[in-house]
Chain A
Amino acid sequence: MVRVLSMMMLGAALLLSGCASHVDYGDAQARETVTTDFGSTDLQMIAAKMVDDMMVFPPVVKMTQNRRPVLFVDRIKNKTTEHIDTESITDTIQSKLINSGKFRFVDMSVVDRVRQQLDYQSQSGMVDPSTAAQMGRQIGAEFMLYGNLSSIVKRAGSTKDVYYKFTLKLLNIQTGIIEWSNEKEIRKTRKKSLFGL
C-alpha cells in the first residue's frame, strides 16, 4: 500500500512539474514570426533600412559633411487596421541617427516640461541667475521627419497575406521641399497546415 501511494505521489509530482510555466530570456534581435501582425522584426528591419538609406543619399551626405542639422520627428500615420505604436519606430530611427553623429534632434513631446523648468529657473528665485538657462536660446529645427505605415491584408482559405509599406520623408521646414524619402515593404504570409498544427 505504501509503495502504491508513493508511486502515485511521484506520478502526481511529475505531472505537476510538467505543467509548471517556464520563463526564459531570448535574443531581442532574433526573427519573430509568432503571427503575421506587425512585430519587433518588422520594426527593426524598417529602422535599419531607413537609416542606412538616408545616410548614403548624396544630398544628405553633403548636408551633413560639415554640420549636424537639427531635426524634429512628427508622427507616423498608422493607416493599418492594427494598433501599432509608431512612436516606437521613430524612436529607434531617431536613436540611430543621433548615434551616427550626423544629426541632432529637438523633442516636441517635452516642450511643456522644458518651459516649466525654464520658468522655474528664471522666476522662482531659487536658481543662481548666472547658471540659469536663458529663454529664447533654443535652436530651431531645420527639417521634419514624418511618414505613413499602411497595410494590405488578403485572405484566401487557410492562407493570410499581409503587405506592409512604411514611408518616411525628410522635409525642409523653410522651403517645404522634401529632401529625402524612402519606402520599406514587408510581406508576411501565414498558411495553416492540414491539421491546424
Chain B
Amino acid sequence: MKIVRPAMALCVALLLAACSASNMGRMEVDDQGQPVTKVYSSNSLLASRLSVEHLQQKTVGNLLYMQATLENGWKFELDFQYKIKWFDKDGFELAPEGQPWRQLVMAGRSQNNVQAVAPNPSAVRFEIWVRE
C-alpha cells in the first residue's frame, strides 16, 4: 500500500502535466508606443523559463512593425507557440481569425527575435501571447 499511493500520486501528476496546454503570457505596447510588458501566465513553469527581454516597434510605410526579443532562461530546448494580436485605436482586435499560432523552438539559454507586421494600417498596438 505504501508503494501504491506514491505511484498513484505520480500518475495523477503526470496526467495533470500532460493536460496543462492552454496557458498564456501577454505583453503590450500602449497607445503612446511605450512598451509595457505584462506577463499574465497561469503556467508558472513556462513563465519561469521564458522572458521578454526587449520590445520594439516602428512604422514601415503606414503599417506597424513589431519585434520582440524572447529569452529562454532554461538550459534545455524550449518548444512553444506565440501569437500576435493587433488592435486599433478603439481597442478592437484586427483580423482576430487571421493570426495563427506560430511555432518557435529555442535552444537552451538563447535569445530569439520574433517579428510581425500589422494586417492593415489601422493597428496602433499589439499583444504577444505565448503558450506551450
Contacts and interface: CB of A to CB of B under 8 A. Distances in A.
Interface in A31-65: 31, 41, 44-45, 48, 51-52, 55-56, 61, 64-65
Given A29-B83, A61-B60, A56 B117 contact: yes
A56 B115 CA distance: 11
A44 B83 CA distance: 12
Interface residues of A, number: 20
Nearest to A63: B61
A71 B120 CA distance: 18
Contact of A45 (B63, B65, B102, B120): B102
Interface in A94-113: 96, 99-102
Nearest to B83: A29
Most buried by A among B60, B61, B65: B61
Contacts, number: 51
Contact of A29 (B61, B97, B115, B120): B97
A65 B62 CA distance: 8
A41 B83 CA distance: 13
Q: Which of B100, B103, B120 has the most CB of A within 10 A?
A: B100
A102 B81 contact: no
A3 to B, nearest CB: 32
Contacts of A96: 98, 119
Given A45-B103, A65-B61, A100 B119 contact: yes
Given A56-B65, A56-B117, A61-B61, 16 more contacts: A31-B81, A41-B103, A48-B116, A51-B117, A52-B115, A52-B117, A56-B61, A65-B61, A96-B98, A99-B98, A99-B120, A100-B63, A100-B119, A101-B120, A101-B121, A102-B61
20 contacts: A28-B97, A29-B83, A29-B99, A30-B101, A31-B81, A31-B101, A41-B100, A41-B101, A45-B102, A48-B99, A52-B116, A55-B61, A55-B63, A56-B117, A96-B98, A96-B119, A99-B95, A100-B63, A101-B120, A101-B121
